[in-house]
């Protein structure tokens, strides 16, 4: 059963595994998370959260390979609409269109889904320490995931910007992760309206524009694109 309040009686239980988000985003081992967190925080300003339409990949260029964007399509289910190349490397395949739980070990998926649902319904920020399953050709690999809520074009909290960074060898894919520790930080205030931008001046970014279409985005440093377009049937 999914829960609607922050860490309610029917939701995940707090324990000694709960960790502080500030400590995690500040550590040098996972600088990509700090970059995404700082960008999201600056973008929202005094509001509760920014809109998905405001996300510009140029603002998180150093973390794009580790970045993803999801859409809530059912309780606890986040459909991956955009994914960086590092996430594809971890799974050994293109993961766009897959649920975010595909990156999680089967025995931890229900627990992860409960926490992910709170990102949208509380709403809240989620940060989790993960460890990859071990096996032949699969060395030790630690990871940290950050999931930050966004509003859609109808002002509903149905989108989220995320980052998954790893420490250790990728090894033989697919690499799926167990949840070691996690932290939900509920947001305060009312759900915000997206920043007012005159329609005639709005030019959709080629990476985040919907409906999706093929594109070729080259970063300012000349690197190949690390986010790929996701087609939607809507």
Predicted structure pTM score: 0.71
Q: Which domains does the chain have, with CATH numbers?
A: 21-191 (3.30.450.20)
- In this predicted structure, what is the pLDDT of residue 125? 96
Which comes out higher in pLDDT, residue 72 or 136? Answer: 72
Where does the pLDDT of residue 233 fall: very low under 50, low under 70, confident under 90, or very high at 90 and above? low
Mean pLDDT, residues 43-60 taken together: 94
Where does the pLDDT of residue 172 fall: very low under 50, low under 70, confident under 90, or very high at 90 and above? confident
Where does the pLDDT of residue 227 fall: very low under 50, low under 70, confident under 90, or very high at 90 and above? low
Q: How confident is the model over 64-109, as pLDDT tens digits?
A: 999 999 999 999 999 999 999 999 999 999 999 999 999 999 999 9
| Weakest-pLDDT range from 47-56, 196-205, 217-226 | 196-205
pLDDT surpassing 60 at residue 167: yes
β-strand 77-83 against 177-186: which pairing, if any?
unpaired
- In this predicted structure, what is the pLDDT of residue 6? 34
- In this predicted structure, what is the pLDDT of residue 201? 39
Residues ≥6 apart with Cβ < 8 Å to 51 = 150, 151, 152, 153, 192, 194, 195
The backbone torsions φ and ψ at residue 84, rounded to the nearest 5 degrees and listed phi first, read -75, 165
- Which long-range contacts link 42-49 to residues 24+ away (Cβ below 8 Å)? 44/192, 47/189, 47/192, 48/123, 48/187, 48/188, 48/189, 48/190, 48/191, 48/192, 49/123, 49/148, 49/149, 49/150, 49/151, 49/157, 49/187, 49/191, 49/192
- In this predicted structure, what is the pLDDT of residue 16? 42
Q: CA 208, CA 79: separation in Å to the nearest integer? A: 15
- In this predicted structure, what is the pLDDT of residue 222? 53
Mean pLDDT, residues 117-121 taken together: 96
């Amino acid at each position: 059963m999914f829960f609607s309040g922050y860490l309610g009686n029917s939701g995940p239980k707090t324990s000694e595994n709960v960790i502080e988000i500030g400590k995690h985003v500040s550590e040098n081992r996972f600088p990509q998370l700090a970059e995404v967190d700082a960008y999201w925080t600056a973008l929202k300003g005094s509001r509760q959260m920014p809109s998905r339409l405001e996300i510009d990949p140029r603002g998180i260029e150093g973390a794009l390979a580790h970045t993803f964007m999801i859409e809530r399509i059912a309780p606890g289910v986040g459909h991956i609409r955009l994914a960086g190349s590092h996430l594809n490397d971890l799974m050994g395949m293109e993961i766009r269109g897959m649920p975010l739980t595909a990156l999680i070990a089967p025995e931890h998926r229900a627990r992860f889904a409960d926490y992910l649902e709170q990102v949208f319904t509380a709403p809240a920020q989620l940060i989790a320490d993960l460890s990859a399953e071990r096996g032949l050709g699969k060395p030790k690999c630690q990871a940290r995931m950050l999931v930050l809520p966004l509003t859609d074009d109808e002002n509903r909290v149905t989108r989220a910007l995320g980052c998954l960074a790893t420490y250790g060898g990728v090894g033989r894919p697919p690499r799926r992760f167990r949840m070691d520790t996690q932290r939900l930080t509920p947001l305060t205030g009312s759900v915000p309206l997206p920043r007012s931008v005159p329609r005639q001046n709005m030019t959709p970014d080629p990476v985040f524009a919907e409906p999706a279409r093929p594109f070729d985005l080259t970063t300012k440093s000349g690197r190949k694109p690390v986010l790929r377009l996701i087609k939607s049937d809507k």
